[in-house]
Amino acid sequence: MTSPRTVARRRSGRILAAAAALTVGAAVALSGCASTSAGSTDTSTPSAFKQAAQDDSAPITVWADSTRLPDVQKYQKEHPNVKMNIVTYDGSADGSTYLQTKVQLFDRTGSGWPDVVFASPTDVTWASVPTSPSAQAFAAPVDQLVQASTLQGFATGSLAPCQVDGHTYCLRNDIAQVVLWYNKKLMDQWGYQVPTTWQQYQALGEKVAAQHPGYVIGAVGDTNSQESYFWSSECPAQQLVAKNTLKVDLSSPDCTRMASLLDPLIADKSVSTQGFFTQGFDGSKVLMAVGPSWYGQYLFNSAFKTPSGEIAAAAPLTWDGQSTPATGDVGGGIWMISSHSKNLKAAAAVATWLTTSTENLQAAPTYPAYIAGAKAWLANPVNKDYFADDVSNVFLAAANEVWTGWSNTKFSDATPWSNAVLPALTAGKSLTSILPAWQTAIANEAKSVGYTVVTQ
């Protein structure tokens, strides 16, 4: 049993220690002390890429999401002499920071990095710079590991998120160009014309709300809905105007036009405030959806189980009087190679095979970023059998129309949208009225990771 005196003694000891710490702290604060950040991650150029001792027979660890897992397993099957550990993880989807968290830890412990990893473009922003002064940037510059001719084979602009300070840090897996999905069977049955402009889209929504209540022509409740709608509208929500300077201007007409277009549709319920991927969303009530190329197989076929031959894709919507079409991009994965790999040769080989080999890409789950692979993919009937029309031309055209003003940033655009906008929409507020709160949320996120935020 502790005696009260020792408790008292201990307590006063603690108070003394605390007081001492405070005094020292205050003294140091007054005398002026070192900066709280290391000051290297933002300002200095990435430290030189130092290879680990190479061993051509060293096993490589590959991290993939469940969607790309079969591709990696296929590679292993065809290359049995390569020793591979295949690990499934969330693939950094929906703003997950699992990979970043793990790499931070591996950087501190000095081991454990995967050799090849599937991730989202956002990850390149932190993986291309060291996480601490003593660490080496996780991503290896692939331009030093893969032939230049291979890199030139990717669709225009698709490697842009990979490029930092003149180096390319990833290979793009797929493009997720936003198109207009619609249920052709229902549209024909009800005698509706497929809209080509946003104004027609709005008019159709109002018609659907009146004539077929319960059916929707879109949803804004997913973590990535802003990329389908506001990116397509060329809204400068997160535009890098200089290194580390981010333009966030949701009061721009390019943003408000989309908010005021959607508000009446949200009010009459022809655009749902739930997400398409919300548990229990009724897919049979979806007449149209503005969304990425992977909606076809992953939303309509797998999640909604819409029968084959009903769903078709149309070109991205434009605004009245708009000369050049623009569209958004929802995800689209990348592959990175670890700069710590002991077997860069094998790591580069598997990453290259996954992103460029026709054999793999013709049966890829999503639209390949590598041009030859995309052509093979579109030529493969399996990828198109499900649809009511040939989606090839729509996909090919939209892939070149992705607006480049929505920058790849160090924070995920899913966080401000999901935290600031979606709960307010659920509570019944209008998008237009939420724009200022969204602006603040994006600016706060941006500042917290070191961007200077401007509105011009």
Partner 1 sequence: MTTLQANPLAVSASGPARRPARRRAGLAGYLFVAGYTILLIAFGVFPTGYSVYLAVTNPRGQFTGIGQFTKVLQDFRFGPAFADIGVYLAMWLLLVVVLTVVVAIILRSRVSNKVSSVLRFLFYIPGALAGVASVLVWLFMLDPAVSPAAGLLRALGLDDFDQVLAPGNLPVILVLIAFWTGAGGWIVVMYGALNNIPDEILEAARIDGAGPWQVAWYIQIPMISKWIVYMAILAFAAGTQLFVEPQLLQTASLNRVSPTWSPNELAYVFAFQNGDFNGAAAISIVLLAIGLLCAGLLVTRSGLFKLDDDS
Residues near partner 1 (CB under 8 A): 1-4, 7, 11, 14, 18, 21, 24-29, 33-38, 41, 94-95, 97, 100-101, 104-105, 107-108, 126, 131-133, 221-223, 273-275, 277-280, 414-415, 418-419, 422-423, 426-427, 444, 447-449
Kindly state the smallest distance separating residue 96's Cβ from partner 1, in Å.
9
Buried b (16+ CB within 10 A) or exposed e, 57-76: ebebbbbbbebbbebbeebb
Report helix angle 431-448 to 253-267, nearest 10: 130
Nearest residue (CB) to partner 1, 7 versus 87: 7
Q: Which is nearer to partner 1, 129 or 399 (CB)?
A: 129
Closest approach of Cβ 194 to partner 1, in Å? Answer: 30
User: 291 vs 316, which CB is nearer to partner 1?
Assistant: 291
CB of 263 to partner 1, least distance (A): 18
Q: Which is nearer to partner 1, 114 or 368 (CB)?
A: 114
- From the list 340, 341, 334, the residue with the least C-alpha distance to 83 is 341
- Whether residue 91 contacts residue 64, with contact meaning beta carbons closer than 8 Å, is answered with yes
Query: What is the nearest approach in angstroms of partner 1 to the Cβ of residue 213?
Result: 16
Task: Kindly state the smallest distance separating residue 61's Cβ from partner 1, in Å.
Answer: 20
| Distance in Å, CB of 439 to partner 1, minimum | 13
* Residue number, 95 or 264, with CB nearest to partner 1: 95
Closest among 386, 396, 390, 199 to 313, alpha carbons compared: 390
Q: For residues 400 and 419, which CB has a smaller minimum distance to partner 1 in the complex?
A: 419
3-class SS letters over the chain: CCCHHHHHHHHHHHHHHHHHHHHHHHHHHHHCCCCCCCCCCCCCCCCCCCCCCCCCCCCEEEEECCCCHHHHHHHHHHCCCCCEEEEECCCCHHHCCHHHHHHHHHHHHCCCCCCEEEECCHHHHHHCCCCCCCCCCCECCHHHCCCHHHHHCECCCCCHHHEECCEECCEECECCEEEEEEEHHHHHHHCCCCCCEHHHHHHHHHHHHHHCCCCECEECCCCCHHHHHCCCCCCCCCEEEECCEEECCCCCHHHHHHHHHHHHHHHCCCEECCCCCCCCCCHHHECEEEEECCHHHHHHHHHCCCCCCCEEEECCCECCCCCCCCECECCCCEEEEECCCCCHHHHHHHHHHHHHCHHHHCCCCCCECEHHHHHHHHHCHHHCCCCCCCCHHHHHHHHCCECCCCCCCCCCCHHHHHHHHHHHHHCCCCHHHHHHHHHHHHHHHHHHCCCEEECC
Smallest gap from Cβ 449 to partner 1, in A, equals 7
Residue closer to partner 1 by CB (options 167, 410) is: 410
**Nearer to partner 1 among residue 16 and residue 21 (C-beta):** 21
Which region holds residue 55: left if phi is over 0, alpha if psi is between -120 and 50, else beta? beta
CB of 338 to partner 1, least distance (A): 17
Dihedral Cα 246, 250, 252, 254, nearest 10 deg = 100
Query: Which residue, 107 or 174, has its beta carbon nearer to partner 1?
Result: 107
The Cα 68–Cα 368 span in angstroms is: 12
User: Would you say 221 or 333 has its CB closer to partner 1?
Assistant: 221
Nearest CB to partner 1, comparing residues 41 and 362? 41
For residues 35 and 324, which CB has a smaller minimum distance to partner 1 in the complex?
Answer: 35
